[in-house]
Amino acid sequence: MLIEIFTDGRVLIDGQDAGPGYQPEHVLLDYLTNPKGFLEMRRKQKHAA
């Protein structure tokens, strides 16, 4: 899992743009507090797209 946070506020997760509504601090908090739940959520989003 690679989470990239840029100074302009963009967030890339495994090379995919997380979208404008996903703030960097929320990405880190979600991943650090519940990594398994975060990974499941990302998998569901990929399958829905």
Is it the case that residue 49 has pLDDT exceeding 60?
A: no
User: For 2-47, what is each residue's pLDDT tens digit?
Assistant: 889 999 888 998 888 888 888 888 888 988 998 888 778 777 766 6
| pTM of this prediction exceeds 0.85 | no
Domain ranges across the chain: 3-48
Q: What is the pLDDT of residue 4?
A: 92
- How far is residue 48's CA from residue 40's CA, in Å, rounded to a whole number? 12
Residue 11: in which H helix or E strand, if any? strand 11-13
- What distance, in Å, lies between the first and last C-alpha atoms of the chain? 19
Tokens of 12: 């890339």
Instruction: Please name the residue that has the structure tokens 């990239």.
Output: 4
Q: Which residue has the tokens 């989470």?
A: 3
Query: Residue 27's pLDDT is what?
Result: 86
The whole-angstrom separation of Cα 11 and Cα 29 is 13
**pLDDT exceeds 70 at position 48:** no
